[in-house]
Structure 1
Amino acid sequence: MFDYSPLLISLRAAMLSTSLIFLLGTIAARWSMRLKGTVASLVDTFFTLPLVLPPTVLGFFLLVIFGKNGPIGSLLGKFGGSVIFTWYATVLAAMVVSFPLMYRSARGAFEQVDEERIWAARTLGMGEGKIFLLVMIPEAWPGILAGLVLSFSRSLGEFGATLMIAGNIPGKTQTIPMAIYFATSGGDMKTAWIWVLIIIALSGLSLIGLAKFNRGKS
């Protein structure tokens, strides 16, 4: 009987990670725009760096931080908790690798918002928080949505970092990319093809939905 658990695990990790980085990425993008000089460059580089680093390097750093001897891992261990080799690790890995896509898309969208609208809102007495929520996000929404779709697709396809911190535990941490890899390694090309077609369909549907939204806005 065909095991559909990698689909459910991948969807759960992708949806949870995308929801979290929507919040974190948009806030980080807005905050970084307020910085100046060298600090701004360093922060922007730090937020973007996971986009160019190999996933195995990201997985290594996650192991160092969340492993039993790491600063966060040891703290969790005192309370009997752990992230490594749990389904939480699949969400964490997906967040780290897809965060830069959300951050860069949101920042680029915010930079295109008409400054006159922002100043007009300020003259009306709106605080910076309300301006961010009621002016900037609605104006930048197409770009933010693009970042969400790209982040979701990237989360679905995450392999290297997930394998290092979550492992390949069937029914628990085995995502679609890992199911493809290990099915191929075991010579089960039929199963590998099924998962390849499924992940292509999911990513393709996401991009089609984004394209339809953009056509509707134009």
Structure 2
Amino acid sequence: MSFLYFDIIFLTLKISIISTLIVAFISIILIYFLEKNQKLKNIFETFINISLFISPSVLGYLLILILGKNGVIGSFLYKFNINIMFSWWAGIITASIVSLPLMYNNVKTGVSSLDPLYSEIAKQLGATDFQILQKITIPLIKRNILAGMILSFGRAMGEFGATLMLAGNIPGKTQTISMAIYSAVESGDSKSANFLLGVILIISFLVILIYNYLFSKERKNI
């Protein structure tokens, strides 16, 4: 049983960490490329934020239509023996999609609060757009990025509905802590449910403590 617990906890952390890094990278890149194209930006933001307005089960069904064996993208991948469904990659995809709005909107808020004078002076000194992003924008919005990553990690760790539909609830393969608790409660295994509840609460408190520490340290450096 202890090995099964380890697999569940390890898989949950793996999916949460990888998806958080993915959405952080995507958010920064999207802000970089869409900042000067408002029309395209509005279209992308509609798709990014759509997961905030639909239920996880609806999102899961949409992903099945796209990534399933007969889906728009899934049918193409299946020709190369690539099956996204019922794999831990499906967990990363769903976790990334549901947490992307949190990360993107935090980065967007940070960028919007910056004085454009910084970029204008940098351009006059010969800096490229990428250099401005790397040397000026990202350092100035570190707290926004950190906040977005914490929120994204928490959302990914607690994801259930969409992941259940796309990845399934397969012990040792796609079962995360949230799904394991659901299965334990459903089968009347309160001991396992309580243990996993304790684990996810401890992880959550540790992440929040780390965030508060880094945030307070950042404020002292200002």
Shorter-normalised TM range: over 0.9
1:27 aligns with 2:6: no
Q: Which residue pairs with 1:124 in the alignment?
A: 125
What amino acid is aligned across from residue 10 of structure 2 in structure 1?
L
Q: CA deviation at 1:33?
A: 3.0
1:49 aligns with 2:50: yes
CA distance in 2, matches of 1:130, 1:94: 31
Q: CA deviation at 1:15?
A: 1.1
Q: CA deviation at 1:217?
A: 1.4
CA distance in 2, matches of 1:74, 1:100: 27
CA distance in 1, matches of 2:121, 2:98: 37
Q: CA deviation at 1:119?
A: 1.0
What amino acid is aligned across from residue 175 of structure 1 in structure 2?
T
Aligned-partner SS, 1:170: coil
Moved over 4 A (4+): none
Q: Which residue pairs with 1:149 in the alignment?
A: 150
Alignment map for 1:1-218 (pairs within 5 Å): 1-2=1-2, 3-4=4-5, 5-36=7-38, 39-218=40-219
CA distance in 1, matches of 2:214, 2:119: 25
CA RMSD of aligned residues (A): 1.3
Aligned-partner SS, 1:169: coil
CA contact (8 A) 1:29 1:104 kept: no
Aligned-partner SS, 1:80: coil
Q: CA deviation at 1:201?
A: 1.4
User: Which stretch of the first structure deviates more once superposed, 58-67 or 24-33?
Assistant: 24-33
The two structures have a TM-score, normalised by structure 1, of: 0.95
CA distance in 1, matches of 2:47, 2:148: 18
CA contact (8 A) 2:12 2:176 kept: yes
Q: CA deviation at 1:39?
A: 4.6
Aligned-partner SS, 1:71: coil
CA distance in 2, matches of 1:122, 1:46: 32
Q: CA deviation at 1:35?
A: 2.6
Aligned-partner SS, 1:214: helix
What amino acid is aligned across from residue 177 of structure 2 in structure 1?
I
CA contact (8 A) 2:34 2:40 kept: no
The two structures have a TM-score, normalised by structure 2, of: 0.93
Post-superposition Cα deviations, 1:44-96, rounded to whole Å, max 9, x if no partner, equal: 22211212321111111110000011121111111111000011111111111
Residue 65 to residue 49, structure 1, CA distance change in 2 (3 Å): same
Post-superposition Cα deviations, 1:74-132, rounded to whole Å, max 9, x if no partner, equal: 11111111000011111111111111111001111111122111111111100111111
Residue 42 to residue 76, structure 1, CA distance change in 2 (3 Å): closer
